[in-house]
């Protein structure tokens, strides 16, 4: 395959690129990434010297950047997105531009390039709050945050291009993903790095909201399988089926780092906070996928990675990171000397 991987300098995209080049020796990978605050070229250092790999800095919403790259590949995997719910609550505009309009630009480029295989990386958040049971692929999409609405908008366009233009597109809906190289704004890397710095761990509301966590390698193996063995036109859920709430995430991080429970700090809830996501991944399992890393092992590996890679995350927790943090966590008291005040 000659793959165009958009958003390949981010958390999950870079794992997918490293995995593809490792496990598919015939494949070539071009990454197109805008390098937003969440994109990090260093995530691709392990593949930098590989002759099958190329990096292009550019925007998926820019047809001039996307067109030639789409013509030069036979497969497009779209990871590029604004991805953080809290940021979408404050400033949704860029979410619409990248996650909806950017998807449209990619789809048009795919159409003009003669219909390469296309995979849209989406999220379980498009199903909205799931009080009971587990979401299946045919369930209605009921997004409730600007982030999940923009992801659902991107999906709707993919569905339209499948139906109207016969684009052989697959959509995957992954659950909350964690592991190495994750920008420290999502709960798990935020709590690990805050704990390492002896800062409070801000738990929203009562800490009872549940997510279905999956290790990043398992998520990427699911995308890889859906891409290679999935049926064009179909959607596939990718979730490990382990439901964990915010308090348990905090307790696990503190236990693994031998830090005191007093670092837990309850803060005002996220507006519109979805109480629960849970996926039924039977459809992908019937293709032969199953998660390999249970959450205990995955959390241990993730914590160890952040302990051993301070040079990766420390520079990210500066400047704009703290400006957003201060606005988002108004009820958190900065620790003296934290640099957050
Ligand atoms: P991330 O924020 O770490 O990375 C996003 C990447 O996209 C960054 O490298 C960024 O520079 C790039 N990007 C953003 N806007 C762009 C644009 N306009 N043009 C080109 N590149 C652009 O996100 P992630 O956690 O790696 O998520 C990747 C994908 O997986 C997203 O589509 C996200 O919605 C989806 N997803 C994430 C999770 C999760 O828990 N993190 C779960 C399910 C699905
Ligand atoms: P997050 O990692 O932002 O992922 P998403 O909102 O896309 O599911 O949040 C995961 C869960 O953790 C969610 O229930 C909100 C909660 N959370 C906190 O309690 N504190 C935090 O600082 C963050 C970022 C999230």
Q: Say which CATH number the domain at 112 has.
A: 3.40.50.720
| Residue 83 contacts residue 34 (beta carbons within 8 Å) | no
Q: Are residues 80 and 200 in the same domain?
A: no
Predicted pLDDT of residue 333: 53
Predicted pLDDT of residue 332: 57
Domain of 264, in residue numbers: 187-210+242-271+294-325
Predicted pLDDT of residue 138: 98
User: 57: part of which helix (H) or strand (E)?
Assistant: strand 53-57
Q: Are residues 203 and 130 in the same domain?
A: no
Q: Is residue 339 assigned to a domain?
A: no
Q: Are residues 111 and 56 in the same domain?
A: yes
| Residue 181 contacts residue 18 (beta carbons within 8 Å) | no
The two three-digit tokens of residue 137, written as one number: 């692929």
Q: Is residue 66 assigned to a domain?
A: yes
Residue 339: pLDDT band with limits 50, 70, 90: very low
The C-alpha atoms of residue 281 and residue 235 are separated, in whole angstroms, by 11
Quick one: three-class SS letters along 244-280? Answer: EEHHHHHHHHHHHHCCCHHHEEEECCCCCCCCECCEC
The ligand 2 atom at the shortest distance from the C-alpha of residue 186 is 2
Has residue 337 got a pLDDT over 60?
A: no
Centroid of ligand 2 to alpha carbon of 102 (angstroms): 25
Q: Is residue 42 assigned to a domain?
A: yes
Q: Are residues 144 and 256 in the same domain?
A: no
48-81, pLDDT tens digit by residue? 999 999 999 999 999 999 999 999 999 999 999 9
Helices (H), 24-145: 63-71, 85-90, 93-95, 103-112
Q: Are residues 77 and 95 in the same domain?
A: yes
211 lines ligand 2 (CB under 6 A): yes
The residues lining ligand 1, judged by C-beta closer than 6 Å to any ligand atom, are 6-7, 9-13, 32-36, 38-39, 59-61, 79-83, 98, 102, 121, 123, 151, 174, 176-177, 183
Percent of the chain's residues with pLDDT above 90: 96
- The torsion angles phi and psi of 11, rounded to 5 degrees, stand at -65, -60
Q: Are residues 87 and 205 in the same domain?
A: no
Predicted pLDDT of residue 341: 36
Predicted pLDDT of residue 115: 87
The C-alpha atoms of residue 135 and residue 154 are separated, in whole angstroms, by 19
Q: Give the residue among 229, 227, 232 at the shortest CA–CA distance from 121.
A: 227
Q: Mind telling me the catalytic residues?
A: 124-125, 147
Predicted pLDDT of residue 79: 99
Has residue 338 got a pLDDT over 50?
A: no
290-310, pLDDT tens digit by residue? 999 999 999 999 999 999 999
The C-alpha atoms of residue 195 and residue 256 are separated, in whole angstroms, by 10
Predicted pLDDT of residue 335: 45
Q: Is residue 331 assigned to a domain?
A: no
Q: Are residues 130 and 79 in the same domain?
A: yes
Angular region, 35: left φ>0, alpha ψ -120 to 50, beta rest: left
Tell me the CB-side half-sphere exposure of residue 78, using CA atoms within 13 A: 35
Q: Is 33 helix (H, G, I), strand (E, B) or coil?
A: strand
170-200, pLDDT tens digit by residue? 999 999 999 999 999 999 999 999 999 999 9
Centroid of ligand 2 to alpha carbon of 187 (angstroms): 5
């Amino acid at each position: 395959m000659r793959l165009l991987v958009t958003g390949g300098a981010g958390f999950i995209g870079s794992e997918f690129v490293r995995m593809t080049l490792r496990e598919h020796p015939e494949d070539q990978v071009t990454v197109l990434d805008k390098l937003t605050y969440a994109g990090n070229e260093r995530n691709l250092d392990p593949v930098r010297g590989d002759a099958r790999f190329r990096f292009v800095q550019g925007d998926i919403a820019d047809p001039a950047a996307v067109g030639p790259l789409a013509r030069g590949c036979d497969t497009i995997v779209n990871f590029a997105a604004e991805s953080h719910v809290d940021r979408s609550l404050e400033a949704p505009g860029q979410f619409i531009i990248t996650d909806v309009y950017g998807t449209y630009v990619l789809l048009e480029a795919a159409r003009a390039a003669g219909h390469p295989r296309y995979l849209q990386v989406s999220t379980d958040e498009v199903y909205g709050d799931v009080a009971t049971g587990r979401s299946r692929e045919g369930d209605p999409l009921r997004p409730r945050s600007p982030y999940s609405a923009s992801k659902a908008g991107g999906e709707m366009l993919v569905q339209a291009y499948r139906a109207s233009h016969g684009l052989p597109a697959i959509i995957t809906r992954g659950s909350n993903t964690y592991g190495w190289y994750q920008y420290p704004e999502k709960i798990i890397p935020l709590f690990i790095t805050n704990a390492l710095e002896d800062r409070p761990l801000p738990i929203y509301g009562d800490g009872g909201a549940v997510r279905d966590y999956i290790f990043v390698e398992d998520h990427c193996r699911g995308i890889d399988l859906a891409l290679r063995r999935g049926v064009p036109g179909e959607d596939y859920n990718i979730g490990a089926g382990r439901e964990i709430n915010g308090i348990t995430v905090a307790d696990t991080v503190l236990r693994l780092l031998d830090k005191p429970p007093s670092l837990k700090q309850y803060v005002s809830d996220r507006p519109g906070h979805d109480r629960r996501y849970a996926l039924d991944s039977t459809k992908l399992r019937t293709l032969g996928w199953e998660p390999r890393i249970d959450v205990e092992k995955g959390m241990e590996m993730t914590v160890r990675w952040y302990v051993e890679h301070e040079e990766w995350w420390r520079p990210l927790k500066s400047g704009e990171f703290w400006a957003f943090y201060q606005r988002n966590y108004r009820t958190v008291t900065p620790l003296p000397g934290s640099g957050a005040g």
